[in-house]
């Protein structure tokens, strides 16, 4: 498999070289909003440790990401008044992966509303700021 490339955009976000709409962080993971959401509140959860995708991630790092994805999913249900949640993870180009640092998509879903196609539109900054503020409050139990 191709080696991890530390110049990918999510590695830059982790190093603070590129901004993000952060919603959650602990010693092992970072979660931030997808700037081209397929549904309102679409969030990405990534490990802090380098991993290209599901195929090379250390099981403990994957477990940290999964736990954080559950936290985000629970908070997103109330924040976005969702009816359900879709998780997605793409590995390698053939699997649909575009950014090569492992990430799990957490997408709040509403009955009868389809996901937008991937990367179909860049969300308005105000909407992203508002979503981040509300999700952070819910994650902090407020």
Q: Which residues bind ligand AMP (CB under 6 A)?
A: 9, 20, 34-36, 44, 90, 96-99, 103, 118-119
CB of 96 to ligand AMP, least distance (A): 5
3-state SS assignment for residue 46: strand
Which among 42, 64, 101, 103 is annotated as catalytic?
A: 103
Q: Measured from the CB atom, is 15 or 142 closer to ligand AMP?
A: 15
CB of 15 to ligand AMP, least distance (A): 13
Q: Do 68 and 51 form a contact (C-beta atoms < 8 A)?
A: no
CB of 61 to ligand AMP, least distance (A): 17
Q: Do 52 and 63 form a contact (C-beta atoms < 8 A)?
A: no
Q: Is 101 a catalytic residue?
A: no
Q: Do 47 and 31 form a contact (C-beta atoms < 8 A)?
A: no
Q: Measured from the CB atom, is 36 or 62 closer to ligand AMP?
A: 36
Alpha helices in the chain (DSSP H): 9-14, 59-79, 125-139
Q: Taking the CB of residue 106, how many other CB atoms lie within 10 A of it?
A: 26
Q: How distant is the alpha carbon of residue 41 from its chain centre?
A: 10
Q: Measured from the CB atom, is 41 or 141 closer to ligand AMP?
A: 41
Active site residues: 103
């Amino acid at each position: 498999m191709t080696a991890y490339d530390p110049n990918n955009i999510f590695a830059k976000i982790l190093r603070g070289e590129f901004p993000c709409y952060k919603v959650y962080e602990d010693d092992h993971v970072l979660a931030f909003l997808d700037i081209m959401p397929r549904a309102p509140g679409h969030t990405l959860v990534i490990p802090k440790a380098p991993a290209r995708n599901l195929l090379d991630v250390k099981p403990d790092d994957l477990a940290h990401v999964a736990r954080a994805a559950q936290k985000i999913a629970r908070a997103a249900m109330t924040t976005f008044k969702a009816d359900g949640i879709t998780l997605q993870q793409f590995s390698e180009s053939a699997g649909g992966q575009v950014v090569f640092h492992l990430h799990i998509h957490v997408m709040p879903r509403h009955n009868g509303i389809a996901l937008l196609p991937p990367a179909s539109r860049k969300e308005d900054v105000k909407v992203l700021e508002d979503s981040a503020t509300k999700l952070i409050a819910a994650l902090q139990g407020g």
